[in-house]
Amino acid sequence: MLQDVTSDIYHLLHPKMVFFVTSIDKSGKPNVMTCAWATPVSEEPPIVIVCISKESYTAELIRQTKEFVINIPTKKLLKALWTCGKTSGRDTDKFRKAGLKIMDAKKVGPPAVAGCAGYIECKLWKTVDAGECHVFFGKVLSAYADEIYVEKGLWKGNAEIPLHLGGSRIVYFR
Ligand SMILES: Cc1cc2nc3c(=O)[nH]c(=O)nc-3n(C[C@H](O)[C@H](O)[C@H](O)COP(=O)(O)O)c2cc1C
């Protein structure tokens, strides 16, 4: 028998990789949030999208300074993922609260989160209004990953990258 899941429609498209998005304000102060809604949309040129609530501080900062970094964590950073997904940078220094270390990005202003398995640095190319979210299209300026976890550009599985199922449920890519 088929069950009606209309009110949970997006869960059918999970699990999704869950990662940190880093951004900065005009004075250079960084913020970090947890995000699961993202996908590549073009290879040539390389473009990815992140779907971010219009009300979040991150969306405000990306609209202002037009750059962001996708930071793909390992299982070790799971606790920080929840912290950065449950509090706002408007009133909290989440790097401090989550015990995250900052690392300079290579080509954009927002810093990266040290200790992640992979990084995608983006310059804002286009913004689309989609319900409660802004869909930010990022032109990829630089992408790199820890050689411990990748081989010929593919995840090896040993990073145990968190995948969000929905709610508080996480599974791991192995
Ligand atoms: C597992 C998980 C996944 C999330 N995915 C998204 C997402 O894809 N888009 C989004 O706008 N918020 C997402 N959130 C919620 C934001 O991380 C949350 O609203 C955060 O407080 C925003 O922080 P900011 O105001 O500092 O930008 C997610 C939270 C968690 C815990």
pLDDT per position as a tens digit, 137-155: 999 999 999 999 999 999 9
The predicted model scores a pTM of: 0.98
Residue 27 has a pLDDT of: 98
Domains observed in the chain: 17-159 (2.30.110.10)
Q: Other C-beta atoms within 10 Å of 65: how many?
A: 17
| pLDDT tens, residue by residue, 46-62 | 999 999 999 999 999 99
Q: Which amino acid is at 21?
A: V
If one residue of 10, 33, 100 were mutated to test the ligand 1 pocket, choosing by the most ligand atoms within 8 A of its CB, it would be: 33
Residue 111: count other Cβ atoms within 10 Å of its Cβ: 21
Ligand 1 center to residue 147 CA distance, Å? 28
Per-residue confidence (pLDDT) for residue 157, from 0 to 100: 85
At residue 167, the pLDDT reads 93
| Ligand 1 site-directed mutation target among 35, 57, 71, most atoms within 8 Å of CB | 35
Closest CA to 14 of 38, 49, 47: 38
**Which residues of the chain carry a pLDDT beneath 50?**
none
